[in-house]
Amino acid sequence: MNNRNSFLTFITACIPGVGYMYHGLIKKGVQVLFLYMLIGPILSFIGLGFLSHLIKICIWFYTFFDTFSISNKIKRGEYVPDSEFIFKNYVNTENLYNENPSWNERINKQGWVILGSFLIILGALSILNQIFIDNDIYKYIRSYASQYFIPIALIIIGISILFKKRD
């Protein structure tokens, strides 16, 4: 991996995953791009499409700034491995050298707990959404939450950064 153009790094960082691929991290870039593209349709399918924008914004911000972090590491001559995007801490590395490890062998115990918890929470949110979908108060709360949640979250994050104690 060699130094890349800073302007092209900025342009590619604007599309989640493409910045990683520009720097030679193909596996990570493809995983991020597919995740980003599939969030909307999957959440819409289960009735939680209103959450997709929030999740996509979080992914976009993370990958945008992480691309520049990786670019700086590469410029300093550090080795940046092409690792998994999300599940890198939850995969058993000792079973990767078997010819055909099963899913149960690939994912460690903590990974299964997180996946199961995530699916339960997603299912519960989907059921609650379907139960309250015709309720006017629910529609009112949901519309205000979608309009004001992100600006309020940004303000809170900004305040916490400003007042964080630095050593």
Ordered by start, the domain boundaries in the chain are: 1-85
What's the whole-model pTM score? 0.60
Distance separating the N- and C-terminal Cα atoms of the chain: 35
Closest CA to 32 of 18, 42, 45, 22: 18
What does each C-alpha distance from 102 to 85, 88, 115 come to in angstroms? Answer: 20, 17, 16
pLDDT tens for each residue of the chain, 167 residues long: 456 788 998 999 999 999 999 998 988 899 899 999 999 888 887 777 778 888 899 899 999 999 999 999 988 888 888 777 666 655 555 555 556 655 555 566 666 777 788 788 888 877 877 777 777 777 777 777 767 776 787 788 888 888 877 65
Neighbours of 147 (CB within 10 A): 10
CA distance 93 to 138: 45
Question: What pLDDT is recorded for position 12?
Answer: 92
Closest CA to 16 of 2, 35, 42: 35
CA distance 154 to 49: 21
